[in-house]
Amino acid sequence: MTMTVAQAVERLFDNTALRVSAFDGSSTGPADGWPVRIASERGLSYLFTAPGSLGLARAYLQDELVFEGVNEGDPYDLLATLEDGLVPRALEWRGIPELARFVAAQRWRIPELPREETPSRMRRLASGLAHGRRRDAEAIAHHYDVSNRFYEMVLGPSMAYTCAAYPSEQASLEAAQEAKFDLVCRKLGLEPGMRLLDVGCGWGGMVAHAVRHYGVSALGVTLSKQQAAYAVARLQRDGLADRAQVRHQDYRDVSEEGFDAVSSIGLTEHIGPRNYPAYFGFLRGKLVDGGRLLNHCITRPDNGHASLPERGFINRYVFPDGGLTGSGDIVTAAENAGLEVRHHENIREHYGLTCRDWCANLSKNWDECVSEAGRGTARVWGLYLAGSRLSFERNRIQLHQVLFARTSGAGRSGFGLATLFPERAERTGVGPA
């Protein structure tokens, strides 16, 4: 007897979440499960040729895996349902031959990949080794040069694409992003007349906040042409261009030195763990003695986790060549580069709330986002942001802020007896302590 698609699904998954119907007329799963349809043999080929998140994403983006009633801009409920109720089974030896015959009978061709997917690691070698300058520029362009208008609709007026700091769960995204920038400024001990370097400055939010509220002069650099153009216009519009500058530039090409503070907010994820020693060594070299570096980045919950899988959804659709590790590895690399740890905290819950609010914006502005970037890209972002929210909530990834000092040869850190980062007198109720 020929195995049906439904029977194949039953062999592969312990399913309490989905009501699966297939193109061959078979079905499986609980009657009250989330309705999903495998539309064709091609859809099945995506699932079998790339088991896990990559195959699911390919089938979904190509409309070969159709989930009824899903909110494309915020599929959080669907992803939580899948995680809790669709568990891969360990194959029994006696069932493998029948499953193999089923696969062989399909006579699949290599399916067409969604246009939103980046090339494989081997194909990316045409642009050089990972984290070479050309390849880094291409990876950044893939993610950040989607469209400034698209980002405005997802991120909101702040145009801040990093973890916010929520004074309360009910606080607005804009208030939380301002609180985050203020928290970073306070940790860096910024005062009027100081010089700030912001590496991976995005659309210039940190630069603008530091100049406007703390009286510093600031330089921001980004590898994204669209981000740089937006930031330059933003600074000119807000009358800050005389004290702030943003360049389209690799941080490694910054020639200036003698900064009082360096902020790195959401850049370390693009650096690659193997490059941390050079990265932190370079940033230390930009600081004066007693100067501070604030590193804000996504991490794994421990130092034993592998980095982002090459055949995973995030690497192929969102952050090509991205890499994560535990906060301990980051601290070790920075300390070995000559930096002293002065403060360290994990604010992952805040990133879950940030992703929640970005998904809400994407969902609210769905039609315009699709018009601007295409339905495929918008769906990728829905999956990415909702999946990230779930991962932060369930402690699969974290967000660490680590404050370092370039301590002088005589042991002067610039901190004295300070242990806290109090609110500024004119700004109350912002950011976690």
pLDDT at 433: 33
Q: Is 412 within the bounds of a domain? A: no
What does the block give as tokens for 186? 């306070």
Q: Is 259 within the bounds of a domain? A: yes
User: Do 98 and 208 sit in the same domain of this protein?
Assistant: no
User: Do 45 and 141 sit in the same domain of this protein?
Assistant: no
User: Do 270 and 349 sit in the same domain of this protein?
Assistant: yes
User: Do 39 and 149 sit in the same domain of this protein?
Assistant: no
Q: What is the mean pLDDT of residues 306-332?
A: 79
pLDDT higher than 80, residue 146: no
| pLDDT tens, residue by residue, 386-414 | 999 999 999 999 999 999 999 999 999 99
Helix 348-364 × helix 375-393 angle, to 10°: 150
User: Do 344 and 384 sit in the same domain of this protein?
Assistant: yes
How does DSSP assign 252-313, residue by residue? Answer: GG-----EEEEEEES-HHHH-GGGHHHHHHHHHHHEEEEEEEEEEEEEBSSSSS--S-TTSH
| pLDDT tens, residue by residue, 87-130 | 877 766 666 777 777 777 776 666 788 888 875 555 544 555 55
Q: Is 141 within the bounds of a domain? A: yes
What does the block give as tokens for 177? 């992003």
Q: Determine the straight-line distance between the first and last CA of the chain, rounded to whole angstroms.
A: 65
pLDDT higher than 50, residue 136: yes
User: Do 334 and 204 sit in the same domain of this protein?
Assistant: yes
| pLDDT tens, residue by residue, 165-205 | 999 999 999 999 999 999 999 999 999 999 999 999 999 99
Q: Is 267 within the bounds of a domain? A: yes
User: Do 252 and 361 sit in the same domain of this protein?
Assistant: yes
Domain hosting 71: range is 5-106
User: Do 178 and 86 sit in the same domain of this protein?
Assistant: no
pLDDT at 51: 74
Question: For the CA atoms of the chain, what is the radius of gyration?
Answer: 24
CA-CA-CA-CA dihedral for 412, 414, 418, 419, to nearest 10: -80
Q: Is 113 within the bounds of a domain? A: no
How many domains, the chain? 2
**Cα separation, 406 vs 383, whole angstroms:** 40
Q: Is 385 within the bounds of a domain? A: yes
More confident residue, 8 or 201: 201
CATH number for the domain that contains residue 346: 3.40.50.150
More confident residue, 13 or 39: 39
User: Do 96 and 176 sit in the same domain of this protein?
Assistant: no
Q: Structure pTM?
A: 0.89
CA-CA-CA-CA dihedral for 404, 405, 409, 414, to nearest 10: -150
pLDDT at 46: 87
Q: Is 425 within the bounds of a domain? A: no
Q: What is the mean pLDDT of residues 10-35?
A: 93
For the beta sheet containing 217-222, the strands, ordered from the edge strand earlier in sequence to the opposite edge, are 244-248, 217-222, 195-199, 259-265, 287-299, 398-405, 340-346
pLDDT at 431: 39
More confident residue, 398 or 133: 398
Q: Is 82 within the bounds of a domain? A: yes
Q: By C-alpha distance, which of 355, 353, 296, 349 is closest to 154?
A: 355
User: Do 334 and 217 sit in the same domain of this protein?
Assistant: yes
| pLDDT tens, residue by residue, 243-285 | 999 999 999 999 999 999 999 999 999 888 889 999 999 999 9
Contact between 177 and 202 under an 8 Å Cβ cutoff? The reply is no
pLDDT at 428: 38
Q: Which of 87, 106, 125 is the last residue of a domain?
A: 106
User: Do 201 and 321 sit in the same domain of this protein?
Assistant: yes
User: Do 19 and 88 sit in the same domain of this protein?
Assistant: yes
